Amino acid sequence: MLDIGTPFNVTSNFTSNLTEIINPNVTIRGPKECNGTPGEGALFEFITNGVLLNLVGLFGLFGNIISMIILSRPQMKSSINYLLIGLARCDTVLIITSFLVFGLPGIYPYTGLLFNYKFIVYPKLVKFLYPLANITQMVTVYLTLTVTMERYVAVCHPLRARSMCTYGRARLAVLVIIIFSTVYNLPKYWEVTSVKERHWKYNVTAYCVSPTDFRLNPLYVTIYIHWMYFVFYYAIPFTALVIFNLAIYRQVRKANRDLQHLSHHQRREIGLATMLLCVVIVFLICNVLPLVTNIFEKFYDEIPSWLVQSGNLTVTINSSVNFIIYVIFGRKFKRIFLRLFCSSHLFGPGRDSPEFQTNDESLVTGVTNIELRNSIRRCHRSNTTISRNNNVHLNNGNSLPRQSTKTKVRSASPGPCVYYPARSPVRSPSQMSRTSSVQNGWDKNNIADTKLQ
């Protein structure tokens, strides 16, 4: 959860030390850049925002794009994956706004680079980026909560999951969250503006970000900025996340004790719940500093700039690491990722088939039981066809006695169809059928040439 609400508070360094604007009694000595001392805290801001935040965000962009590609594939279609796609999209927008609001401006104070962006482009964009970042922030929070609630129903109330955890309900939940977040954050559009000043060093016109009179209203700050922000961004979602995930954790521990008695579908649900439990834990850890910043602001007039900058970095990390969690804990996600973006010869021929909840998958070979049963049936039908063809040929040939004919049929029979999982990777039923026939000494040419001499 990007700490966008706090940086525009009157004491944050994000609005370039607006303490002097609010407190005109503050004595100003020396040159000023947007009412701030040039170079103050520049090295720490450059390291956290200019370097680390940009690098982490760049990795997060690639990770979220790959996650959206994989989760959008037909075999991954489900309600939970639709929510995860929405979460990846919001994280992507959040990272982009983090680049534009924190990453690029953080380069200038220490290096002197990107002057035009810092003092011309950025002050004009921030009026639109600020509400967008807050909207995306809230959507991310409540999508994470919705994902947790979906897993809670699937793990703790599996009988209700079929009717409650549907694709249509997931789409409706995403739509409601986006509408609510947009309406709630509309006032953010009137909170900031840009003002002109002459730059102390280059003697050119520079634009600086400044809060509006609407943003400085004490009643608005107390009710909307402090208390409502705390309640809707932290209190409600954090409390619900803790409650639901404790229930999921207890159910996962209980299921792990009886793991050998669970079906593959139940094991998959437990594994998915474990993966999303890690997502929520990382989410909570990365949002500790923004929460501390919000509480700190209620009791002190000035917030340490390092606290705000560190909080922005941890929030960007949270939006960038979900891809790593999916690869580590999501077996099917990892398999599709390797098939799409890594060497394909490691996994053999064939394509992933849609994995429905009724398909129990073999833990050893990766072949579903339904595919295995279909393969055995096809092998049996193939053997029956071969036997009938041999009988037809034998009945048409009258050169040998009947007893000799029976002996020939028995010796030519391919025998029972046997499946060898260790000799072949995952294959389609037709491929398995052909392989089984060849291993027993039969192919199409042999079948066609089987005649009594």
The CATH number covering residue 257 comes to 1.20.1070.10
Using one digit for the tens of pLDDT, what is the confidence trace for 53-104? 999 999 999 999 999 999 999 988 899 999 999 999 999 999 999 999 999 9
pLDDT at 226 over 60: yes
In angstroms, what CA-CA distances link 152 with 84, 160, 165, 366? 15, 11, 10, 27
In a domain? residue 27: yes
Q: What's the pLDDT score for residue 423?
A: 42
198 and 312 fall within a common domain: yes
Task: Quote the distance between the C-alpha of residue 383 and its chain's center.
Answer: 48
In a domain? residue 357: no
256 and 399 fall within a common domain: no
pLDDT at 413 over 50: no
Residue 162: pLDDT band with limits 50, 70, 90: confident
304 and 238 fall within a common domain: yes
Q: What's the pLDDT score for residue 253?
A: 84
In a domain? residue 99: yes
165 and 17 fall within a common domain: yes
In a domain? residue 149: yes
Domain boundary among 326, 341, 356: 341
Structural domain containing residue 428:
369-449
In a domain? residue 376: yes
- Average pLDDT of 247-261? 79
Residues 6+ apart with CB under 8 A from 298: 226, 230
Q: Residue 153 and residue 170: Cα distance in Å, rounded? A: 13
236 and 298 fall within a common domain: yes
186 and 332 fall within a common domain: yes
pLDDT at 419 over 70: no
58 and 166 fall within a common domain: yes
Contact 432, 421 (CB under 8 A): no
Count the domains in the chain: 2
Residues 6+ apart with CB under 8 A from 262: 255, 270
In angstroms, what CA-CA distances link 141 with 130, 240, 319, 325? 17, 11, 11, 18
Q: What's the pLDDT score for residue 32?
A: 73
Task: Between 253 and 282, name the one with better pLDDT.
Answer: 282
Q: What's the pLDDT score for residue 266?
A: 72
Q: State the pTM of this model.
A: 0.70
30 and 111 fall within a common domain: yes
- Average pLDDT of 39-50? 90
In a domain? residue 437: yes
- Closest to 330 measured CA to CA, from 394, 271, 416, 267: 271
In a domain? residue 302: yes
Domain boundary among 341, 361, 381: 341
411 and 331 fall within a common domain: no
304 and 376 fall within a common domain: no
307 and 392 fall within a common domain: no
Domain boundary among 341, 358, 389: 341
390 and 245 fall within a common domain: no
In a domain? residue 49: yes
Q: Residue 309 and residue 102: Cα distance in Å, rounded? A: 8
